[in-house]
């Protein structure tokens, strides 16, 4: 049975979300999902918090206003962890959430406030008993591309364990999953900002622009030093990197960069693909915060970063108005 109904050849640009907006729409509706880590467990269920709100234009800038907040829950878990949703993506007429613990891909109905299991992705090349640590998702042509952190899996002090997070899953409109090895692509992105050797980059925010035929990567963390779990908390990455071919790259320096914050989700505005909205997460010690901001593809601040909540929200997506 097909994963989702086929709508058009271009399953992202011409879906209902885009039909409800026009270029320079003054109001855009968005949904956000949470990754509450161990706090996701609630009785015999695991939950994610959904925040729905509007982004509205104020002169040449934008602001955000929350409209409602609710929980979505499922019993699916792996070793007592589940529904730690790290990304939200609209694809072919449906809205999908992605769990970074179990590898679950679930359909989310905003109006009914429900989540429905669709797929479970496995780690690495898929021959694994461990769920994929999903951190980002975007649409390329007629498929969802779903990725992990984009760096080698290591111990907390940086000793190499495996390449599993370098694999990307391609999910077509019929639900077929293909496995892609992106090791060379992730290395090229890292090298584009002169990070080599034991230096690393962690990805949680990726978007593809149909109109520009360009990939955008907003790494959450990066460093020229070896990975270290504690030091990593304050290694927020200052770049947004774009490319058409993974050979030539354009680097945007983030004018609102703060080492405590890291990109956790990024989306391209409907019909206005020179603007990028994003979430940034803070996880320093016991401190947890989520900020929202907007930047142009040339590096101009369009929305000053705004504290949305002290919950960790790691996915944002546009939904019909």
Hey, which residues does 28 pair with through a beta bridge?
55
- Residues 105/120, Cβ–Cβ less than 8 Å: yes
- Residues 242/261, Cβ–Cβ less than 8 Å: no
CA nearest neighbour of 243 among 185, 284, 157: 185
- Residues 215/208, Cβ–Cβ less than 8 Å: yes
The annotation status of 135 as a binding-site residue, yes or no, is yes
In this structure, are strands 221-223 and 301-309 parallel, antiparallel, or unpaired? unpaired
CA nearest neighbour of 87 among 56, 63, 111, 121: 121
User: How far apart, in whole angstroms, are the C-alpha atoms of residue 176 and residue 3?
Assistant: 8
Return all residues near 230 (Cβ < 8 A) that are at least 6 apart. none
Distances (CA, A) of 153 to 81, 159, 202: 19, 8, 11
Query: 58: how many CB neighbours lie within 10 A of its CB?
Result: 9
In this structure, are strands 214-217 and 206-209 parallel, antiparallel, or unpaired? antiparallel
**Phi then psi dihedrals of residue 242, to 5 deg:** -125, 150
Helices (H) and strands (E) in the chain, counts: 2, 25
Hey, which residues does 70 pair with through a beta bridge?
50
User: How far apart, in whole angstroms, are the C-alpha atoms of residue 198 and residue 17?
Assistant: 42
The annotation status of 86 as a binding-site residue, yes or no, is yes
User: How far apart, in whole angstroms, are the C-alpha atoms of residue 282 and residue 30?
Assistant: 21
Residue ranges at the known binding site: 86-87, 135, 204, 264, 314
Which residue ranges are tagged as binding site for Ca(2+)?
86-87, 135, 204, 264, 314
């Amino acid at each position: 049975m097909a994963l989702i109904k086929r709508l058009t050849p271009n399953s992202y640009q011409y879906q209902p979300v885009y039909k409800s907006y026009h270029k320079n729409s003054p109001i855009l509706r968005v949904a956000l999902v949470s990754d509450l880590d161990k706090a996701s467990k609630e009785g015999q269920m695991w939950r994610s918090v959904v925040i729905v709100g509007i982004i509205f234009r104020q002169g040449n800038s934008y602001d955000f206003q929350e409209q409602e907040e609710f929980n979505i829950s499922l019993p699916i878990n792996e070793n007592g962890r589940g529904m730690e949703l790290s990304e939200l993506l609209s694809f072919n007429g449906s809205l999908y959430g992605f769990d970074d613990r179990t590898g679950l891909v679930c359909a989310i109905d905003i109006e009914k406030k429900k989540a429905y299991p669709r797929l479970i992705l496995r780690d690495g090349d898929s021959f694994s008993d461990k769920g994929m640590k999903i951190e980002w998702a975007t649409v390329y042509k007629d498929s969802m591309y779903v990725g992990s952190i984009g760096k080698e899996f290591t111990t907390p002090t940086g000793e190499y364990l495996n390449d599993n997070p370098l694999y990307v899953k391609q999910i077509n409109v019929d639900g077929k999953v293909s496995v892609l090895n992106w090791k060379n692509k992730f290395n090229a992105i890292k090298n584009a900002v002169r990070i080599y050797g034991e230096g690393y980059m962690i990805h949680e925010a990726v978007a593809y622009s149909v109109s520009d035929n360009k990939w955008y990567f907003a790494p959450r963390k990066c460093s020229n030093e070896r990975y270290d779990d504690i030091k990593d908390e304050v290694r927020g990455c200052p770049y947004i990197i774009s490319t058409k071919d993974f050979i030539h790259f354009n680097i945007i320096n983030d004018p609102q960069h703060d080492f405590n914050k890291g990109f956790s989700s990024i989306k391209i505005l409907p019909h206005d693909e020179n603007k990028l909205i994003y979430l940034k997460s803070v996880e320093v010690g016991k401190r947890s915060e989520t900020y929202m901001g907007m930047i142009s593809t040339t590096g101009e601040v369009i929305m000053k970063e705004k504290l949305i909540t002290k919950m960790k929200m790691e996915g944002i997506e546009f939904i019909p108005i």
